[in-house]
Amino acid sequence: MKGLVKRLVAELARVWPRGPRSCERGYILAALLLIPSPAFAVSLKIVRPEPAESLSLPVGFTFVIGTVTPADSKVTCNGEECDVEDDGAFIGFVPIRCVQDGVERRGKICDAPFEFIARHGDDETKVIVSAMSPRSPSAREKPDEIFEKPKNIRVKNWLWIGLEEPRLGDIVLVPEGATLKAKSSSASSYRCRTPLGTEIPIAKADSEIVDGVDEGAPGAWEISTPDRETVKIMCDEWTKWKLPFKGKLWGLRLFQEDGRMRVDPRVEHPAGKLAGLRVCLDPGHHSDSGAIGPRGFEERESTLLISREVARLLKEDGAEVSFTREENPMPLKQRHDRMREAKPDLVVSIHNNSVGEGQDVRKRHGTQTFYLFPWSKPLAESVHHAILDKMGTDDLGCIQRNLYIARFPECPAILVEPEYIILPSQEKKFMNPDYRHKLAEAIVDGIRNFVEKKDIE
Ligand SMILES: [Zn+2]
């Protein structure tokens, strides 16, 4: 900085030989000192939290990520030091400070500022990011509206609604045209009762209010998958089916015919090899961006690049590949519709992992694979182990979970989370075409092993 000022003063003396008067000289020097020197200034780019992002504040800790230049700067957030990579990407796991009227209140629900400081030699820069609790007054949704008389809600699309705990994993299937009674509504959904007495939210976007319609017809159905031995399907209070699952079922087709629901167990297997196999790939995210790494690499871009590589390898072996989305934003509901249209033999949804507040992913990271229906579990296990073997990642489990994309009963459908894009070292891998190629090979190995073994059974 000093050298630069000297050079500028010398340059001024050259072009302005008689020199300015002393007070002018003072102004010029002051102005020169205020010009930041781009070669030395520390700069910070914060990726998370975003300004005014909603965070679950009562958990106490959260992740902060971003990049700093120069890369050998020190970064702290709320007083905690962040780990900085060679290229300046950083991650920190920091306490959430709740400050109200300038006073820190631990564990209170309030808007929380994050104070980032980056230091490099004598240079220092500070960035304040405000984030808020979902329960803070500025982030709260409108309160529920309770209807004086229940309203009839007609469902416009086939809906698959997952029940939350304590019945995690159970699905309510609501066919198109079903009419349900709603007693209340929130900003985005109606709370309805199914003929089986279960309360479910129906999105306003998927339904309309109708007058003068009989209650409950044609009804809603529930699918339970508590274990891999049976699949229980209940159409109404008189009809209950139990389908034994002996490892032979490839999926269930459910559809409405003459106002009644039909369930077709799918037992035929594809040929036992990749050739001719119809695989539907779901590159995670877009229209939402999904997770993001410290350098700003987005999960939606990463998953699309990996999926294209998986598709290329599958096609080399003769498989037919479809996508639920490519460049254009595609909401989850439409991606489900595209899956159904593709009539796939398998569905693989590809994601890059992230974490919610409160968990320190620097200490526990690896591969997770999810499935919902019992006939999806062998595919999930096969792809999961192929990734562990080839990529050498830690095993965070093959988990039955009620995820939207896994709620596809017609064939084995799984979701893979190979590694955590939120970690600087792992984001860097996802950005590398060689890594994506190796990962795609692992996924294809897993699919191949599953299909070939399935044929022997
Ligand atoms: Zn994701």
- 269 pLDDT more than 60: yes
What's the gap in Å between 284 CA and the centre of ligand 1?
5
| Owner of token pair 């800790």 | 61
Sheet with 207-210, strands from edge to edge, namely 199-203, 189-193, 179-185, 145-155, 207-210
Worst-scoring range by mean pLDDT, 104-113, 317-326, 394-403?
104-113
- End-to-end, the C-alpha distance of the chain in Å comes to 74
Position 234 scores a pLDDT of 66
What's the gap in Å between 290 CA and the centre of ligand 1?
5
Confidence grade of residue 315 (pLDDT, cut at 50, 70, 90):
very high
**Per-residue model confidence as pLDDT tens digits over 129-164:** 888 766 655 555 566 788 998 888 888 877 877 776
Beta strands 123-132 and 53-54 are parallel
- 352 pLDDT more than 90: yes
What's the gap in Å between 292 CA and the centre of ligand 1?
10
What's the gap in Å between 298 CA and the centre of ligand 1?
10
What percent of the chain lies above the pLDDT cut of 70? 73
pTM tops 0.75, yes or no: yes
What's the gap in Å between 416 CA and the centre of ligand 1?
9
Position 174 scores a pLDDT of 80
Position 200 scores a pLDDT of 84
What's the gap in Å between 410 CA and the centre of ligand 1?
22
- 32 pLDDT more than 60: no
- Calpha distance 422→63 (Å, rounded): 9
Position 31 scores a pLDDT of 47
What's the gap in Å between 350 CA and the centre of ligand 1?
8
What's the gap in Å between 216 CA and the centre of ligand 1?
36
Arithmetic mean of pLDDT, 403-427: 94
What's the gap in Å between 237 CA and the centre of ligand 1?
37
- 19 pLDDT more than 60: no
What's the gap in Å between 303 CA and the centre of ligand 1?
9
Position 23 scores a pLDDT of 42
What's the gap in Å between 137 CA and the centre of ligand 1?
29
**Per-residue model confidence as pLDDT tens digits over 199-249:** 888 889 889 998 876 554 455 667 765 554 566 666 654 455 666 655 567
Arithmetic mean of pLDDT, 108-136: 82
Q: Which of 342, 338, 350 is nearest to 309 (CA)?
A: 350
Arithmetic mean of pLDDT, 159-180: 72
What's the gap in Å between 234 CA and the centre of ligand 1?
31
The distance of Cα 185 from the centroid of its chain, to the nearest Å, equals 26
Residue 58 tokens read as 């009562």
What's the gap in Å between 354 CA and the centre of ligand 1?
7
Identify which has the larger pLDDT, 433 or 261. 433
Residues in the chain: 457
What's the gap in Å between 421 CA and the centre of ligand 1?
10
What's the gap in Å between 174 CA and the centre of ligand 1?
26
Identify which has the larger pLDDT, 176 or 47. 47
What's the gap in Å between 232 CA and the centre of ligand 1?
29
Let me know if 5 is exposed, middle or buried by CB neighbors in 10 A (0-12, 13-18, 19+): middle
What's the gap in Å between 415 CA and the centre of ligand 1?
9
Worst-scoring range by mean pLDDT, 202-206, 240-244, 292-296, 446-450?
240-244
What's the gap in Å between 157 CA and the centre of ligand 1?
25
What's the gap in Å between 250 CA and the centre of ligand 1?
26
Q: Residues with Cβ < 8 Å from 160, sequence gap 6 or more? A: 171, 172, 173, 174, 336, 404, 407
Residue 334 tokens read as 């439409």
What's the gap in Å between 312 CA and the centre of ligand 1?
22
Position 20 scores a pLDDT of 40
- 12 pLDDT more than 80: no
Orientation angle between helical segments 2-15 and 22-34, nearest 10 degrees:
140
What's the gap in Å between 31 CA and the centre of ligand 1?
49
What's the gap in Å between 401 CA and the centre of ligand 1?
14
What's the gap in Å between 209 CA and the centre of ligand 1?
33
Worst-scoring range by mean pLDDT, 28-32, 169-173, 263-267?
28-32
Identify which has the larger pLDDT, 170 or 385. 385
Position 1 scores a pLDDT of 46
Identify which has the larger pLDDT, 330 or 198. 330
Arithmetic mean of pLDDT, 65-92: 96
What's the gap in Å between 305 CA and the centre of ligand 1?
14
Which residue blocks in 35-134 are alpha helix, DSSP H? none
- 387 pLDDT more than 60: yes
What's the gap in Å between 15 CA and the centre of ligand 1?
60
- 456 pLDDT more than 90: no
What percent of the chain lies above the pLDDT cut of 90? 41
Confidence grade of residue 402 (pLDDT, cut at 50, 70, 90):
confident
What's the gap in Å between 328 CA and the centre of ligand 1?
17
Position 175 scores a pLDDT of 75
What's the gap in Å between 351 CA and the centre of ligand 1?
5
What's the gap in Å between 396 CA and the centre of ligand 1?
16
Position 156 scores a pLDDT of 85
What's the gap in Å between 291 CA and the centre of ligand 1?
6
Pick the most confident of 39-48, 61-70, 183-192, 234-243.
61-70
What's the gap in Å between 379 CA and the centre of ligand 1?
19
What's the gap in Å between 134 CA and the centre of ligand 1?
21
Arithmetic mean of pLDDT, 349-366: 89
